[in-house]
Amino acid sequence: MSLVSPGALAGLKVIDLTRVLGGPYCTMILSDHGADVIKIEPPQGDEVRDWGPPFQDGAASYFIGVNRNKRAIALDLSRPEGRAVLLRLLDGADVLIENFKPGGMEKWGLGYANDLAPRFPRLIHCRVSGFGGEGPLGGLPGYDAILQAMTGLMSVNGDATTGPIRLGTPVVDLATGLYAAIGILMALHERTRSGHGQYLDMTLHDCGMALLHPQAANFFLNGRQPRPLGNPHPNLAPYEKYRTRTGEIFIAVGNDGQFRKLCELLGRAEMATDPRFRHNADRLANRAVMIAEFQAAFTEQDGPAIADRLLRAGVPAGPVLPVDEALAAPHTQARQMVTELDGYRGVATPIKLSRTPGGTRRRPPRFAEHGDEVLAEHGYSAEEIAALTADGVLCTTRRR
C-alpha cells in the first residue's frame, strides 16, 4: 500500500526500551501511525529475535510481527556512559516506554519522579510490568500465560472435559500493549492542557483482569463461579459452533429477531414460537435440546454457503477458518489487512483514518541497524560514535 500521509502521530518522538511483546506491540501501534520510535535494545538484543523458527534474515517471526516502522539501536545501559547516551536521546522525546522490573530504572538514577520528570517535565513515562511495584506480588516478573492463569481468563476457556486452557493468542500481552497505547494517547492529550507529562503504570495483571467480561459482571450479580463452557456463550443462545457437510460454522444470535430469522432460513420456523425457545432466557434454559435441533438442520448444509446466506439475512454467522484461509480471504484483501514491503509481510494496522492513514514505512529493523544514524541526529560526531562503539557502550553485534 502506498502511503501519502506521514501519519496522525508524525512528529511524536518515542524512546522504546521494551522487549518481548506487550511494549513492542504498543510502540508498533504508535509507529504505524507516524511516531518516530527509537527501539533501544540491550547488548544481548530483544530475546524474541530468537523465538523461532520460522526466521527471516536471522530474526524470528515473533520479533518481525511486532517491530516494523522502528529504528533500532543497542546500548549497554548497565554502564554510566550508556545511560548518558539515553539521557541525550530523551532530550526532546515525548514518550519513554520501558518494561524493566519496578525499581530497575530507579536503581540506575532514571526513575520518573526523582530523575526524569525534573529534567524532562513534558515527558510521558510508561512502564509495562507484570504486577506493578506495589502489592504482595509487586516487582515480580510476569508472563502472558501465567497472567492468563492468575486473572481467571484461563478458567473460562475450554470446557468441562478439558479444564482451563490457555488462549491460543497471547491475549494479555496484546491487551496490555493496546491499553498502554490508549494510556499514552490520553496522557498526550492531557499534556496539551497542562503542559506536563506523567507516569503510566501499566501491568499485565491489571489488563488481564480488565478482559474478564462478561464473566466478572455475571459473578458480581449472581455470585456463582464462572465455568468454562467451550464455544457457547454464558449469556446468549444460540451462540456456538455447528458441523456442516463442508466444515464448521459459528452462529451468534443476539436477539429474538435474529433467532426468528435463523429458524425461518433453516426451515424450522416452529422453533421461534416454541415456549422453550421464544426468548433468550428460555433458550439458555433449554440449550441442549435447541442445539440438537439446529445440529440436525445444519448437518447436510454447505457451511460457507449457509453462513453467507444467514449473514446477509441479518443473522450473525461465519465459517470457522484456519489462519491461512483467514489471511487469504477476499474480505481480508479488500480491507488491506495484509501489508507488504521489501519482502516483509505482516498483519496491517486495523485503524483506518481517512486523512492520515497509517501503514508500513519500514521493515522490522536488524539488530542495531540505525545506531550511527540515531546518534548523529542527536549531535554525536563520527569520532564520538566510534569511541562509544570501541568501548562497547554502543553495540553493533549481539552479545551471546
Taking residue 224's Cβ as centre, other Cβ atoms within 10 Å add up to: 8
76 is catalytic: no
Buried b / exposed e along 159-179 (16+ C-beta atoms within 10 A): eeeeeeebbeebbbbbbbbeb
Per DSSP bridges, beta strands 239-244 and 247-252 are antiparallel
Count the residues in the chain.
400
**Distance between CA atoms of residues 337 and 226, nearest Å:** 35
CA distance 42 to 98: 12
Considering 16, 36, 173, 372, which one is annotated as catalytic? 173
Which string of DSSP letters, residue by residue, matches 233-259?
A: -SS-SSEEEEEETTEEEEEE--SHHHH
Confirm if 73 and 38 have CB atoms less than 8 A apart.
Answer: yes
Beta-bridge partners for 129: 203
Collapsing DSSP states into helix, strand and coil, what is residue 98?
strand
Instruction: Please give the grid coordinates belonging to residue 117.
Output: 520528570
> Any idea which residues carry the catalytic annotation?
173
